[in-house]
Amino acid sequence: MNIRFLNSIGLIALIFLISSCSTFKKAPEVTVVSTAPPANKIENTTTTNSSGQIQTIAPEQFNKLLVLDDIQLVDVRTAEEFQTGHIKDALNIDYNKDDFKSKVSSLDKSKPVLVYCRSGKRSSGAAEIMKELGFTKIVELDGGMISWEAANLPTSQE
């Protein structure tokens, strides 16, 4: 089969996962895409409560979600870290600043939020705060920018 066709199927599967109301689960459709790593190499965890869902996914899967129109991409590192390189179109909201909660609260709680930091520690805390604030779909980059760059995925300094 055509690799473009298989990539399209994988992307559709990811879109379905993000837009579904049920708990995120590993979907076989995602792991059969030829560009995705084998299923046993994908870290995929989900935390759910009544106010929202947090899904932690590998850089390759995270990258595929960036093409969706309704996502909000948030980098929770410092402004200095952000300037050294970030994922294109990311909004920088520093997790360590006192105004983090108020700035995050201005985002649309009904739209998926993709969040990352340098290694995953701050984004994990940020995701928990977003869940407490009522965000319904939160996707965290497993391993942060360290894993993003290790996967040779593009960064921007604009």
In contact, 24 and 17? CB cutoff 8 Å: yes
Say if residue 127 is exposed, middle or buried (CB neighbours under 10 Å; 0-12, 13-18, 19+): buried
Q: In the 8-state DSSP scheme, what is residue 41?
A: G
Distance CA 133, CA 58 (A): 25
**3-class SS shares of the chain: helix, strand, coil, % to 5:** 40, 20, 45
Of the residues 18, 73, 117, 126, only one is catalytic, namely 117
CB atoms within 10 A of CB 151: 14
Alpha-carbon gap, residue 129 to 99, rounded angstroms: 13
Whether 21 is catalytic is: no
Active site residues: 117
